[in-house]
Amino acid sequence: MKNSKRDMIRRAAALGSVSSFIAVLLLIIVYSKLTLDIGVVCPFKEIFNIECPGCGGTRMAISLLHLDFYQAFRYNPFILSTLPILAYVYCKQAYLYIRYNILIEWLDKFLVIYAILLLLFGIVRNIDMFSWLAPTKLT
Ligand SMILES: [Zn+2]
């Protein structure tokens, strides 16, 4: 496998472009919520009146920007709790991809397990007994 410096730069540029696009998209969503009070409307919430696994994500991000960690936790405890793990996996994968052009061996299993846990969280937060997992605005 050829692994020249030029290839590494090309992979870094590709990964940087995709990451930047996602970051800008998230910034636009958070900025529009902060300045114009235009939030992302959740189709699950609108159509079925249930909380999806991502409900509260934008409000969680805004609370994090205000360093209000408890409020961020109340908006979306699953995503907030797993954010450090996701950041670690992302950074490790980005390094391995740029440096050696390889994927983490367990990346596919990790993503499947994460998706299953996220789905379970989405189901559980709609059960009355676990309603405290639904996005909650503290007063
Ligand atoms: Zn939702």
- Mean pLDDT value of segment 15-34: 87
The answer to whether residue 13 is domain-embedded is: yes
Surrounding ion ligand 1 within 5 Å at CB are 42, 44, 52, 55
pLDDT tens digits, 88-123: 999 999 999 999 999 999 999 999 999 999 999 999
The answer to whether residue 17 is domain-embedded is: yes
The answer to whether residue 86 is domain-embedded is: yes
Report which DSSP code applies to 67.
Answer: T
Q: 95 C-alpha vs ligand 1 centroid, how far in Å?
A: 32
pLDDT of residue 52 exceeding 90? yes
Total domains present in the chain: 1
The answer to whether residue 138 is domain-embedded is: no
Q: 96 C-alpha vs ligand 1 centroid, how far in Å?
A: 33
The answer to whether residue 81 is domain-embedded is: yes
Q: 32 C-alpha vs ligand 1 centroid, how far in Å?
A: 17
Domain range holding 109?
Answer: 5-133
pLDDT score, position 93: 93
Question: Within 10 Å of residue 58's Cβ, how many Cβ atoms?
Answer: 21
Of 65, 66, 67, 80, the C-alpha closest to 135 is 80
Distance, in Å, from the CA atom of 139 to the CA atom of 74, rounded to the nearest integer, reads: 12
